[in-house]
Structure 1
Amino acid sequence: MARIDSAYNYFMSTYGDSIGSRYESHKKSELRDTYNKIVKANKDSPLYKIKDTEDMGQFAIDIKEHANSMSISVSNLTSNGEDIESILSKRIASSSDPNTIEAAYVGDEETGSTEEFTIEVDSLAKPQINTGNFLAPQDMNFKPGQYTFDLDIKNHSYEFQFNVNPGEDNLAIQNKIVRLINTSDVGLNAQLITNRIASNAIQVSSKATGIGEDETRLFNISSTISRDELDILGISRVTQEPSNSDFKLNGTEHQSLSNVFTVNKAYELYLKAPTNGEVTIGLKNDTEALTDGVNQMLDSYNGMIDVGLRYTGAHQNRTLFNEISSIARGMTESLAFVGITADENGHLSLDSERLADVINSDDKASAFSTLNELKSAVRSAASKASINPMAYVDKAVVEYKNPGKTLTAPYATSQYSGMMVNYGL
């Protein structure tokens, strides 16, 4: 179980912040298709044992997440139609400073607003944060017994109960309360933070940001029955008050409870940081939108190349690198025609001026045919790697299945494909 925990800890620390793209939500038919592909991949998969190396789980997760990035980049290029050329008729928002404000066009493609505007962000919306007392992990500040505390949030009241068993130290109790809050799904996140002397405190933050006119706090933690124990924990203390975002639209001051909101029912804005002056929000021109989409696809492709190179160096296993790099090697001349070239390591780069010239010439159809071929190859490689990243790692085959009597085995992949693996083989 420890290995599974370490694998998922690596996943959350490395890729957790990138979760949430609108292309990561799927229809039932898409989920059913993914499940069927997993079943098919495992019908003939042999029983194997993964080699016991520390980076094996990280490598498999890297493959899966970079495959996901490739899929998202393809979806972004084809969200307005299967042919990449359709992106020329799609409205795509632009931000003059995407590091502080991201913009997406969510209006009607035919009648939605296309008006350009400026925004200046003074401060972001913030959640409420309560930070408890730092306790020495091996001390036992709690007597055995049953304790309760009350949580008031959004006009709802909840009672939380926890037990202290004989011999349980502070760290065990704090972890128990963190799990209790996180699994309750009441709109809060809890975590343990550590100070310089290795003492731990519980930090509770609201998932919501901002504060309404008739509100003073987003949540309140209290207890009458277990007041002493709550005082020891200290989680009723507010260390960051919730606040709204402050910004100016075309010079007019506004506030929002959230850092994500819509302007003119057409532009969805995501505030990431206060701005240094005004930021202009508008629409990208056709060539700029296409160039950005192609560059995103090439970046995701190059990311997978890097994973393959890293594993090649560590384990002398070139399977992933050879498979991904073969996409560009088989299209060298046609890719060069549209301004895409490869370096000695197989990384692809785009000459945007060359791409703009060729899509505005008589060779436009040929250029889009090449881009669509590259997109299809990238999507296929991403799907294969995502369904079974364990196909590329070092492993020892224990037993092959009977070729004449294959059975569906959807749980035989691994935890890195969303399933489980038996390390005790």
Structure 2
Amino acid sequence: MPKIENAYTYFLQSSNSRKSSKYDSHSKNDLKKVYTKMIQVNKNSPLFKLTEPSTAKRFAIDIKESSRNLLHIVASLSENEDINSCFEKKVAYSSNPIVAKALFTGESSLDNGDSFYLCVNSLAKPQINTGNYLKDNNMSLPIGNYSFDLKTQSATYEFQFNVKLGEDNLSVQRKLVNLINSAHIGVEASLVSDDDNKHAIRISSINTGVPETGANQFNIFPSSKANDIAVMNILGISNVTQSPTNANFTINDDEYSTTSNSFSLDNGLEIELLKEGKNSTSKIGFKNNFDAIFDNVTNLTTAYNNMLTLAQKYATIPNRNTNRSQFFINMASVSTSMKSQLDSIGLEVNDNGYVFVNDILLEDAISSENIETTFATLNNFKNSIGNKADDISINPFAYMDRIIYEYKPPYNNFPTPYLPSSFVGLFLDNYV
């Protein structure tokens, strides 16, 4: 696909910073269901061309990522068949979120009233190598071809580069930074400057902590050639300026150590350490039932509202006959069709379908004799959102404006198992 790298770049810039979730892992049955849906949609899809191909990649990525986030929240509230338990799911808290964050993701033996004190003595740190600071406009390296090896915990990689006539120190340093980063081998390179505006190459390991196989996360060394050794001494990138260290913390005065600042406790309580040193203490526990319900409902409505905002961004209302406008209308119909029921339990729906939580009315609805009706309404709302997000994630281009080129024969419409794709029926050209 021509210019597909533009789509990858947009994805990496807009969405790749999100953490993976346990709901990204699927069983064989889950994958089979998704595959079957894709085949079915492909079977009935005509051949079409997008009317606005310039926005196609952004639209597809945005809608897929938003629906993915929404499905994660729905899945987290669907792990228990008991309707009440879905929204009474435990919610962890940290009394000092600057020091540590707490997230509950599964079953835990801790009760709602249980808590503990976490004190962060030191954070886990990566290894950092900082080279020699060189004057930008000078040329400290002789013209020629050079190589060096970078050994990580898993493999050894050889890097080759050249120094050409007319290049200066800064241009060569930039070349090496790009060379190392493009390899994607578990280290990140960057340029840093000192007070004299000289620049050096800094290389940092992505992983933190002391590895089991040695003191360093990586090592850099030249080949046995005298020229390579001389150039490496000038660059100085083999100099370790920060050794990797493990995180050290205490839980109720019991000391622990880990190679990462993010770890799991008690089968589902995820902790992320953020600050070390004096006064770096936080109380970790679970919120009471109403606070837990309120947080779970708020997470669901926020994700739903974000999807509406995305739909509104791509919509072309007042021309309501376009597919992009139908995307917004269909998403908003989930809440507007349930407006009276949602309003009655404190989930207030405005004219555009956005849902806002009224904590006072929600608490009354949960505390009243009609609590079963409240949870049934919440569960219906959650399931409707999940079904809509699932449909959207299978074929996001169903909501793009398009020109139909060919319909499949009505009586010989067979599935094409070799073409299952989220871009079902899409006729690509050099604009995409």
Separation (CA, whole Å) in 1 of partners of 2:246 and 2:219: 19
The answer to whether the Cα contact below 8 Å between 1:150 and 1:157 also exists between their aligned partners in 2 is no
Separation (CA, whole Å) in 2 of partners of 1:49 and 1:55: 13
Secondary structure, in 3 states, of the residue corresponding to 1:19?
coil
C-alpha RMSD of the superposition = 4.1
Separation (CA, whole Å) in 2 of partners of 1:234 and 1:84: 62
Residue-by-residue CA offset, 1:171-200 (whole Å, 9 max, x unaligned): 7776454443x2xx5xx13456699xxx99
The TM-score, its normalising length taken from structure 2, stands at 0.79
Work out whether 1:257 is the aligned partner of 2:259.
yes
Alignment match, 2:299: 296
Alignment match, 1:37: 37
How much has 1:204 moved relative to structure 2?
4.2
Secondary structure, in 3 states, of the residue corresponding to 1:408?
coil
Alignment match, 1:386: 393
Separation (CA, whole Å) in 1 of partners of 2:247 and 2:405: 58
Separation (CA, whole Å) in 1 of partners of 2:244 and 2:418: 45
Alignment match, 2:156: 158
Q: Summarize the alignment of residues 16-415 of structure 1 with structure 2, pairs less than 5 Å apart.
A: 16-52=16-52, 54-79=54-79, 81-87=80-86, 90-98=89-97, 100-105=99-104, 109=108, 115-121=114-120, 123-130=122-129, 148-154=147-153, 158-160=156-158, 162=160, 175-180=178-183, 182=184, 188-190=186-188, 204-211=203-210, 216-225=215-224, 226-228=228-230, 230=232, 235-238=237-240, 240-250=242-252, 254-263=256-265, 267-274=269-276, 277-312=280-315, 317-406=324-413, 407-408=415-416, 411=419, 413=421
Identity of aligned residues (%): 32
How much has 1:363 moved relative to structure 2?
0.9
How much has 1:44 moved relative to structure 2?
1.6
Secondary structure, in 3 states, of the residue corresponding to 2:48?
strand
338-347 vs 50-59, greater mean Cα deviation = 50-59
Secondary structure, in 3 states, of the residue corresponding to 1:227?
helix
**Does the C-alpha gap of structure 1 residues 396 and 284 become closer, same or farther in structure 2, counting only changes over 3 Å?**
same
Separation (CA, whole Å) in 1 of partners of 2:240 and 2:273: 24
Amino acid at match of 1:423: D
Unaligned runs of 5+ in 2: none
How much has 1:18 moved relative to structure 2?
1.3
The answer to whether the Cα contact below 8 Å between 2:91 and 2:295 also exists between their aligned partners in 1 is no
Unaligned runs of 5+ in 1: none
Separation (CA, whole Å) in 2 of partners of 1:233 and 1:47: 56
312-321 vs 279-288, greater mean Cα deviation = 312-321
How much has 1:285 moved relative to structure 2?
1.7
Secondary structure, in 3 states, of the residue corresponding to 2:126?
coil
The TM-score, its normalising length taken from structure 1, stands at 0.80
How much has 1:97 moved relative to structure 2?
3.9
How much has 1:388 moved relative to structure 2?
1.0
The answer to whether the Cα contact below 8 Å between 1:142 and 1:164 also exists between their aligned partners in 2 is no
How much has 1:267 moved relative to structure 2?
3.5
Separation (CA, whole Å) in 1 of partners of 2:89 and 2:125: 34
How much has 1:320 moved relative to structure 2?
1.3
Amino acid at match of 1:3: K
